[in-house]
Structure 1
Amino acid sequence: MTDDCAVKVYKALGESTRLQIVRMLVKRRELACLEMAELLNNTAASTLTHHLKPLLECGVIAVRKEGTFRYYRIQRHVLEQYAPSLLKE
């Protein structure tokens, strides 16, 4: 992966809500938006989308669509390369 990719990953993880999302996803296999919003004290969907976008763009998380639901999961290989300590929590 390029330096540009590393910058995007660290920038995405540098925001506390995004880091919290990643930590939640490390502990669970997958989470739907609604579940994440509840775990983040009923965060608004638009705010959650704002935080998920950079995590998706840099490859830290991936999304799976099932009907009208979206399920998010960690891309372990990306965290193993850039932030392995997050996988040990």
Structure 2
Amino acid sequence: MKLDDNTIGQAVKVYKALGEPTRIRIIKILYRIDELNCNEIEDKACICAKSTLSHHMKQLADCGLIELRKDGIYHYYSLNREVLKNFVSLDWDD
């Protein structure tokens, strides 16, 4: 990967997003399960408030770590594995 200004900017956003334990839990959940809706993520990550989940999901989407698919009134999220692989070298299978 070429380390140009855009890549550096994205790296800063990715590392900032992963600076929060809840967001790391969300990434780990999405690593194991290809696609989930908000309610499923909320249950699996033990997040009580929808506004809190919304904030975390926005941070993860803004840096490109997750992708959103809308189906009617439902929003489904999946992990962008390419972005994760480019910036994070952790063993997510633990």
TM-score by length of 1: 0.92
Tell me the TM-score normalized by structure 2: 0.87
2 CA distance for matches of 1:80 and 1:26?
11
User: Whose radius of gyration is greater, 1 or 2?
Assistant: 2
SS of match in other structure, 2:48:
coil
Partners of 2:17 and 2:60 within 8 A in 1: yes
- 1:29-40 maps to which residues of 2 (within 5 A)? 29-40=34-45
Alignment match, 2:3: none
Q: Could you list the runs of 5+ residues in structure 2 that have no partner in the other structure? A: 1-5
The root-mean-square deviation of aligned C-alpha atoms, in Å, is: 1.4
Pick aligned residue for 1:63 from 38, 59, 68: 68
1:6-85 equivalent positions in 2, closer than 5 A: 6-85=11-90
- Count of paired positions: 89
Give the structure with the larger helix fraction: 1
Contact 2:47 2:53 in 1 (8 A): no
